[in-house]
Amino acid sequence: MARGEAIGCFGLTEPDFGSDPSGMRTRAEKDADGYVLHGSKMWITNGSVADVAVVWAKLDGNVRGFLVEKGTKGFSARDIPGKFSLRVSVTSELSLDRVKVGPDSLLPGTEGLKSALSCLTQARYGIAWGGVGSALACFDEALRYAKTRVQFGKPIASFQLVQKKLADMATQITLAQLLALRLGRLKEEGKADFLHVSVAKRNNVAMALDVARTCRDILGANGITDEYQVGRHLCNLESVYTYEGTHDIHTLILGQALTGIAAYGD
């Protein structure tokens, strides 16, 4: 995988457990030859094309990670059809029907949800930057369009309402860039934790979605066509707003950090 010769996928989310992964129903049982896995996973990127899946399951009440190779008996993947968003991405449901794996398939050192969530923290860090990239792409297109789209005898960029939208977006993008940069420096120093990442993921994706919507507005009807990229980013960001921790879950993570009171779970 490190050499790019194999594709992997990360199987944590289940059909009935997204924001609450601790409720997962996928189970692992130890037997004489290794382990037997039974359950299902949902919304798994690269699920049907992956050579190996990291599947999280409960073993004796503890969440552990297991490697399951493509083609293993009882293991199958089905792509999720009809997506409006992230259409270029393969998104699948994984089914595990008494899947037998060897003892070396158990990931060493994986004890509890902390192991799985630590992986998500790294992914969310990247998403904080990705939101900035999507916003910049939309902003660049809307700015160029506003300078060339003529209405009432002059480019729409000359109107105060459009200039205010552009100024507000430029400000918010810059603030998000500084947030991501600061987070990156904290990470470099070994001082970043999941709370910092939640702040950045929550803010930067919401910012990017707002920017994409405003840019679509500037492009008018053209903004809903595939001749321009704004509509694609807008649809994709709706998914990013939800995955890797929903906007609301990151809000509650920060709320707990500020108040000491958990507003979800027990």
Q: Which residues are catalytic?
A: 244
Kindly state the tokens that stand for 156: 């729409």
The C-alpha atoms of residue 244 and residue 237 are separated, in whole angstroms, by: 12
- For 167, residues 6+ apart whose C-beta sits below 8 A from its C-beta are none
The DSSP bridge partners found for residue 35 are 30, 101
Give the Cβ contact number of residue 62 at 10 Å.
Answer: 12
Exposure class string for 27-60: b at 16+ Cβ within 10 A, else e:
ebeeeeebbbbbbbbbbbbbbbebebbbbbbbbe
72 exposed, middle or buried (CB, 10 Å; 0-12, 13-18, 19+)?
A: middle
User: In the numeric block, which tokens belong to residue 69?
Assistant: 């190779």
| CA 47 – CA 166 distance, rounded (Å) | 40
CB 3 within 8 A of CB 47: no
E strands of 102-237, at which residues?
Answer: 150-151, 154-155
Q: Give the DSSP letter string of 21-80.
A: GGG---EEEEETTEEEEEEEEEEEETTTT-SEEEEEEEETTEEEEEEEETT-TTEEEEEP
